Amino acid sequence: MGGQVAPELTEPLRRHERVMKGTSQASPRCVALDADIGVRSRCTIHPQRPSVCRDVPASWEFGAASPQCDKARIAHGLAPLTPADWHGIEAPANDDDGHPDDNPNDGGHTPPALPPPIAA
């Protein structure tokens, strides 16, 4: 189950569906993305991000490649992430209690600001 996203960050897709603003465009760019593509990126609502975003881990963040992440990076002219891109990052974001990405289980603590993987 995903987080609760502020309605002003979404837009209608179909009768009973909403999407993050900017994601249903020909050149998608989510309104919650704070990025200089190829240099750094972060989701500004990471603990509350919708389930569709939670279902796509970054490649090798949890020890395995993510084909959907790799495809998105390639579409933006970036190389897929490798295990080496995660050196120096000890744990997944928002893992204060052994349950990564679960803001409610972390007592509402904001995840630490971790450096993003370096784009190849």
**Over the stretch 1-25, which tens digit does the pLDDT of each residue have?**
456 899 999 999 898 889 999 988 8
Which sequence spans correspond to the domains of the chain? 1-50, 56-104
Helical segments of 15-56, H only: 51-54
User: Side chain identity at 75, as an amino acid letter?
Assistant: A
Question: What is the reported pTM?
Answer: 0.60
The model's pLDDT over 76-91, given as tens digits with 9 standing for 90+, comes to: 888 999 998 888 776 5
CA nearest 33: which of 24, 19, 25, 22? 22
Q: 95: which 2 tokens?
A: 């893992």
